[in-house]
Homo-oligomer: A and B are copies of this chain.
């Protein structure tokens, strides 16, 4: 009988033949003849016309192999260590929420939410970020202050029509990704928690050693004040804000064009905005703008600018100003921000993803973002009680892929296990002795492996150590058993010494101190 794969190949080829004939508008007779051949082939492998089984993961999702998991583990450790260094607790929330919990929180991004099928119970959706579930958690448990971190996967549908690229945390073409969020909820003196969030981004991006980076900061109140003094009608604030948000990806001309021609803004108003959004600086810029004859007319803008000054004072104390820039073009997509907003970009990020639109390449390095959202918890509270919150969300996927490529480029051998010693034998019929010794080691807390073969070759046991980076081999033979010793071999140097059985655990532990 022919190989199944061969038949499938034949089906494919024959399918092409039929298609070509149809396109060429060949005679019905001729087509029927080739279709009959096709059906015959399909019958051979029991293909009844249905799609063949797809051996793949769902679109936009992926597996991670052991080597990738080892690298991801390092990223998680770095991030969690930082969160713990700042005294955060952790919580967990379910991967799906009631659909209505997510409704009305994400603006036009709502289209990207995965809904569960209505199977006769509640209407459910997969979580889109960790911020909305956090706010729901606070309201539900009437928590008014907490500093928490949460590392978990979020889910966003693929929608090629939406190219805003708000899913900066995730890989291009990847709609499942891990976010690591740190948030501070509570009524505190202005800008202290906000500054700590930025300090945390600074620490993590430094610790991860991903090359240089910049943290752009702005404030929703400054943006709104700016729109007001530039003559944007109140009802257009939000839509104009989302156009400004594109400035990191498209040139000003295109942004202006969208404002004027699509959103009906007066060209003079757009030009005024254009002047403001080109400004970047530090505490000096905040001071200058507080004197700006137009902007200082806006109470909101002044409040934002005063806080911005304060933020920079705290960042100075935190030794973090070197990477932070006050950038009036930063707008951020989500609706729920009410004060300071920020976004971290890698400025010498290695691999740039291949995108059909060249202009997207600019925002490639975006790895974290966040801001203040003082109204979100109140949206969930039956009495509308507000809990001021500020937080930051760090995307793992892009960080991971940079780390992965760095490991690849450096030729580093990434270990995927932590095994300290392989229990081996050069002689036959010693399986039981190997299992006994492995048990001694395991029960003493030593990480040990043993081959699942009755009589494995010594070479293949040593090869496994080479392949997986196991540093030591404990070799048993008739003589060693008689003498009450084990031959301990250093895989790298090939040195061997006899160690008394009673001392083996200590010896292995000493030699593999981490």
Residue ranges of A at the interface with B (Cβ–Cβ < 8 Å): 3-5, 8, 53-59, 61-66, 69-70, 72, 84-98, 100, 114-119, 121-122, 124, 126, 136-137, 139-141, 146, 148, 153, 155, 157-158, 176, 184, 186, 188-189, 192-193, 196, 199, 203, 313-314, 317-319, 380-384, 416-419, 431-432, 435-436, 439, 442-443, 445-449, 452-454
Contact = CB atoms under 8 A, between A and B. Distances in A.
A452 B186 contact: yes
Nearest to A384: B4
Given A95-B95, A95-B153, 17 more contacts: A4-B383, A55-B139, A56-B98, A58-B122, A59-B121, A61-B94, A64-B91, A64-B92, A65-B141, A66-B91, A66-B146, A114-B117, A116-B117, A117-B118, A189-B452, A203-B442, A317-B439
Contact of A445 (B85, B192, B418): B85
A121 B158 contact: yes
A58 B148 contact: no
Contacts of A117: 114-118
Contact of A447 (B85, B153, B446): B85
Contacts of A140: 55-57, 63
A316 to B, nearest CB: 9
Given A189-B453, A452-B184, A94 B447 contact: no
Contacts of A380: 53, 55
Contact of A94 (B58, B119, B416): B58
B55 A439 contact: no
Contacts of A189: 431, 452-454
A439 B318 contact: yes
Given A115-B116, A442-B85, A435 B5 contact: no
Nearest to A57: B94
A59 B122 contact: yes
A452 B193 contact: yes
A55 B90 contact: no
A193 B450 CA distance: 10
A121 B112 CA distance: 12
Contacts of A64: 91-92
A203 B58 CA distance: 36
A137 B69 CA distance: 14
Contacts of A384: 4
A279 B131 CA distance: 55
A212 to B, nearest CB: 19
A220 B497 CA distance: 46
A67 to B, nearest CB: 8
Contacts of A442: 85-86, 199, 203
17 contacts: A5-B382, A58-B98, A63-B91, A66-B89, A66-B91, A66-B148, A69-B91, A84-B418, A85-B445, A86-B442, A87-B419, A89-B417, A114-B116, A115-B116, A117-B118, A196-B452, A318-B435
Nearest to A89: B66
Nearest to A437: B317
Nearest to A52: B382
Nearest to A136: B55
Contacts of A157: 119, 121
A460 to B, nearest CB: 12
Contacts of A90: 66, 69, 416
Nearest to A193: B452
Nearest to A186: B452
A93 B63 contact: yes
A69 B93 CA distance: 11
A94 B448 contact: no
Contacts of A431: 189, 192
